Structure 1
Amino acid sequence: MPMKVLHILDHSLPLHSGYTFRTAAILREQHRLGWETVHLTSPKHGVAAGADADREEWAEGLHFHRTPHTPLRVPGLGEWTLMDALTRRLHQVAAETRPDVLHAHSPALNAIPALRVGRRLGIPVVYEVRAFWEDAAVDHGTSRDQGLRYRLTRGLETRALRRADHVTTICEGLRQDIITRGIAPGRVTVIPNAVDAERFQLGGTADPALKAELGLEGCRVLGFIGSFYAYEGLDLLLQAFPRIHDQAPDVRILLVGGGSQAEALKAQARDLGIADQVVFTGRVPHDQVNRYYDLVDLLVYPRHSMRLTELVTPLKPLEAMAQGRLLVASDVGGHRELIRDGETGWLFPAGDPKALADTVLHTLARAADWPQVRANGRRFVEEERNWPASVARYQAIYRRLTGLGEAARAG
């Protein structure tokens, strides 16, 4: 009998995010290992309750069970009703599919229902931490650092970590934080972020028509493609740009995407007098993203230093390396786990616009080094940060919790 794992998720495809891309990669690799997987999303995926609610959906070749739910707009109670709805739906799906393992993915709002159902049905629970919800809420402005909601959320996460049969996480920074909460090191395993290098083609040639349309003809381009959250540090890139432009007048900035900081960044560009040198495209269709990447000479990831960025490794630098692209990034902990300064990219001290400007200028002036750095980055993801190597780490965890590996060997 193949291993059967029921994954409990915050949201999934067809929504596109780093969270959903990691999930899809894990599921597909587990299928290649011969395991059977079942997938359930929480009410946060966004399926309203009702007689005609879609309780199942296929997306990009993967089947998902949904949890219809009408949120309760009462402060402090909404999360509890969400967990209750997910508990009921999870119990139903688990009773029907009879998995060997319940694998809950961040946040704790998914882990607590998994623990409830796991205890009732006698199924071991793995909890995977991709980030701490309380830290993300601080950056998004929905919670105050060390405020009541922050402390309650942190307490809920710690409770889930202590009760889970095993904990997995995406990087060493998060692992160390989990251990400080009283979790034995042997119960915490890193399943690092990775990429499927074969799904990423090496960067192509810039489309002259698109370059002309955006006013970037004859320019060298610094770029960022993604969501404009405050922690991404795009304000720092704008602060650094006048110094860059003084010494390299042909340089422009291309910002592709949108998010909570979009209007503030546009206002900052106007205040700095650089609005005519910064191109905001807005969000672009997913199948067109590579056309914009191909316009960029140097990707910039200037994340600010905060708990979230010091602890969590992002996917974007890995995806950039898989495409053989060049990148400059701040030296926050999440970047230092991925980027080898001067070898696969370049790092600068976080929060320092002068250092960012100088690193960009130094990199632009060293074009002779670019081919080797591109090759080093591609080799890093092919040899060290690939999904087969990453997902294989689940095997020992699942086998120990279920005894299925021992049973197979005995047979």
Structure 2
Amino acid sequence: MSARFERLATPARSVVLAVGVATRMAREDPALLVIQAARRAPASWRAPAARAVAARSRSGSSRDVVGRWLAGHDADARRGVSHLLGRGRVSSLVAEIAVLLDVPLTGDDIASATWARALRRRGDLSGAVAAAGSTGRLAGRLSSELSTLQAGYDLPGRASERRRARPRRSSTDVPTVLHLLTNSLPTTTSGYAVRSHAVLRAQAAAGLQVAAATRLGYPVTVGRPVVRGSDLVDGVRYHRLVPWRLAADPAARLVQHRDAARALAAQLRPDVLHTTTDHLNAVVARSLARELGIPWVYEVRGVLEDTWVASFPTEQRAAVRASERYGLLRARETELARAADRVVVLGSSVADALVARGVDRGRIVLAPNAVDAQLLTRAVEPAAARAALGLPREGFWVGTVSSLVGYEGLATLIEAVALERAAGRDVRAALVGDGVSRPELERLVADRGLGEVVLLPGRVPPAEATGWYEALDVVAVPRLDTAVTRTVVPLKPMAAMALGRPVVASDLPALAEIVGRPGAGLLTEPESARSLADALALLASDPALRASLGAAGRAFASNRTWAAIGRGYRTMYEAVA
């Protein structure tokens, strides 16, 4: 196939795929299609749409609830949905919103498909299969999903195509590595995508031949209907595996994913496959590596099942943790980590957890979040950085550059700023980023009368994030106390430390590991605005302490550069390839 034909074929496939996905959803469940489209819409569209829907609606009516949900006011929408369910009949749209907001369904008129999705969301996969009935596409998809979570599940192999990895030409050859990723820049700018990009650049700088492929159908499946065969970002090539159509069920889709990756591997001839959490990526990588006769590496960036639990309201988490899905996810992740040739972790907390689950410590490699060495030489004062951004020079500024999601605990930070200002201290904040919690955070800022001193500027390109870190006197990581936040080490504190900014973080094992032990900041009681406010007051009044903590953080970060991490990856690949 000529390069010119392929340049035309991938955009054509992406358009056909986008139309096919939308058509299938419209035919099977139009209410769900509306929900999915609304969730992917930009905030600039959702806000006016919410106002239009809620206009002239009665408080507590279905229209009012939909409007509040569109606006991102989940707490209000949750109360409204609960009220409507208690009164009896609800529309299919409101019922689907109830599922998304984790409101227990009641009533006899709820569609079986909605019941099935609600049971799946709460972790009762067998119950969801039963609720969906014995026929229909939803029942087939749920049954297929359940089968992929069973112990020992594997993709059917192609024995006739199995072969040995290509021999090295000489001892000086370096491995070629193909990364199988969930998502990537430039479409997605999450912490996952930013780390992936930093890792790939570091590996290339270490002399490795690297390429990456994102999951099947991405980024069409997240709302980008026309895509090219690949994107080149800072010298890193991200290949897109875009078929004409997606297979009907999860198991078949995994085979389709493996086959598309096989075709790419035939061109790139990798010596090692490298994939990341979750188990779906791992099962594809394991199957393809076995066919190609090469090793595979599993990078465990989080604890999947605990991240899922953290997405529920606090009062529901115990029940979800006891669910069928939680147990299956935990066992599946453990099984695949034990099967990989090497397991990469970001911190010792995850390493210890995996060893406790039976993973050989000798196959675990630490590759923590790191920093660009150039950050270590920057010396910009906070007031000067604020002036460059058009912000007031005065005040004591605290904040973060992060995804605005519930477990980050940013509501606690806003409350702490309110306490400090009530005490007469000119504390201000900047919460840079976007996410599902942004509307509720904006409302909290307005309710506390902080609109002039707490900024939510939205998502910024990675290249601009440095300037926002420098504008802060203190960087805050006030994460909630959940199983996932106790284990998973975030990326954001490292950039702050490299820039010499002290960190205030929740006293959780994963944060104590990189903030408390090196003396780079202060640890506070999780979910306590008072404890966080006291730490801010201390730092605001003691410039010498801020300088000392900032210096300790910079010293710690100097030993965790991406250049060093890239060399560590190379050593690992050369050992297994």
Aligned pair 1:4/2:179, yes or no? no
SS at match of 1:203: coil
Partner of 2:423: 247
The separation in 1 between residues aligned to 2:203 and 2:518, in whole angstroms, is 35
Runs of 4+ with >6 A deviation: 70-74
Partner of 2:201: 28
Partner of 1:405: none
Query: What displacement does 1:234 show?
Result: 0.7
Match of 2:336 among 160, 170, 189: 160
The separation in 2 between residues aligned to 1:72 and 1:165, in whole angstroms, is 30
The separation in 2 between residues aligned to 1:390 and 1:286, in whole angstroms, is 20
Partner of 1:138: 309
The separation in 2 between residues aligned to 1:32 and 1:254, in whole angstroms, is 34
> Given that residues 302 and 350 in structure 1 are in contact (C-alpha distance below 8 angstroms), is that contact kept between their aligned partners in structure 2?
yes
Identity %: 32
The separation in 2 between residues aligned to 1:52 and 1:249, in whole angstroms, is 51
SS at match of 2:471: coil
> Given that residues 12 and 45 in structure 1 are in contact (C-alpha distance below 8 angstroms), is that contact kept between their aligned partners in structure 2?
no
- Over 3 Å counting, the alpha-carbon distance change for 1:22 and 1:255 in structure 2 is closer
The separation in 2 between residues aligned to 1:342 and 1:87, in whole angstroms, is 43
Aligned pair 1:335/2:511, yes or no? yes
Partner of 2:192: 19
SS at match of 1:393: helix
The separation in 1 between residues aligned to 2:345 and 2:388, in whole angstroms, is 43
- Over 3 Å counting, the alpha-carbon distance change for 1:251 and 1:108 in structure 2 is same
Aligned pair 1:206/2:380, yes or no? no
Is the radius of gyration larger for structure 1 or structure 2?
2
Query: What displacement does 1:232 show?
Result: 0.6
- Over 3 Å counting, the alpha-carbon distance change for 1:224 and 1:159 in structure 2 is same
TM-score, normalised relative to structure 2 = 0.63
1:226-256 superposed Cα distances (whole Å, 9 cap, x missing partner): 2111111111112323332233432222222
Aligned pair 1:282/2:458, yes or no? yes
1:295-310 correspondence to structure 2 within 5 Å: 295-310=471-486
Aligned pair 1:392/2:567, yes or no? yes
> Given that residues 202 and 322 in structure 1 are in contact (C-alpha distance below 8 angstroms), is that contact kept between their aligned partners in structure 2?
no
> Given that residues 171 and 313 in structure 1 are in contact (C-alpha distance below 8 angstroms), is that contact kept between their aligned partners in structure 2?
yes
The separation in 1 between residues aligned to 2:515 and 2:217, in whole angstroms, is 33
Aligned pair 1:59/2:233, yes or no? yes
The separation in 2 between residues aligned to 1:196 and 1:357, in whole angstroms, is 31
The separation in 2 between residues aligned to 1:58 and 1:209, in whole angstroms, is 30
1:295-331 superposed Cα distances (whole Å, 9 cap, x missing partner): 3222211011112111111111100111122221111
> Given that residues 67 and 85 in structure 1 are in contact (C-alpha distance below 8 angstroms), is that contact kept between their aligned partners in structure 2?
no
Partner of 1:46: 219
SS at match of 2:516: coil
The separation in 2 between residues aligned to 1:325 and 1:62, in whole angstroms, is 30
- Over 3 Å counting, the alpha-carbon distance change for 1:130 and 1:354 in structure 2 is same
Task: State the one-letter code of the partner of 1:33.
Answer: A
Query: What displacement does 1:277 show?
Result: 4.1
1:103-252 correspondence to structure 2 within 5 Å: 103-141=274-312, 144-199=320-375, 201-204=378-381, 205-208=384-387, 210-211=389-390, 216=392, 218-252=394-428
The separation in 1 between residues aligned to 2:387 and 2:239, in whole angstroms, is 44
> Given that residues 237 and 356 in structure 1 are in contact (C-alpha distance below 8 angstroms), is that contact kept between their aligned partners in structure 2?
yes
The separation in 2 between residues aligned to 1:305 and 1:235, in whole angstroms, is 14
Query: What displacement does 1:66 show?
Result: 1.3
- Over 3 Å counting, the alpha-carbon distance change for 1:321 and 1:13 in structure 2 is same
- Give ranges in structure 2 of 5+ residues lacking alignment: 1-172
After TM superposition, the structure 1 stretch with the greater mean CA deviation from structure 2, 55-64 or 112-121, is: 55-64
The number of aligned residues is: 395
SS at match of 2:514: coil
TM-score, normalised relative to structure 1 = 0.86
The separation in 2 between residues aligned to 1:361 and 1:70, in whole angstroms, is 58
The separation in 2 between residues aligned to 1:398 and 1:376, in whole angstroms, is 32
> Given that residues 497 and 554 in structure 2 are in contact (C-alpha distance below 8 angstroms), is that contact kept between their aligned partners in structure 1?
yes
SS at match of 1:45: coil
- Give ranges in structure 1 of 5+ residues lacking alignment: 403-411
The separation in 1 between residues aligned to 2:182 and 2:504, in whole angstroms, is 31
- Over 3 Å counting, the alpha-carbon distance change for 1:221 and 1:29 in structure 2 is closer
1:205-231 superposed Cα distances (whole Å, 9 cap, x missing partner): 13448555xxx4642222222211111
The separation in 2 between residues aligned to 1:206 and 1:388, in whole angstroms, is 27
Task: State the one-letter code of the partner of 2:290.
Answer: R
The separation in 1 between residues aligned to 2:367 and 2:451, in whole angstroms, is 42
Query: What displacement does 1:52 show?
Result: 7.9
After TM superposition, the structure 1 stretch with the greater mean CA deviation from structure 2, 112-121 or 7-16, is: 7-16
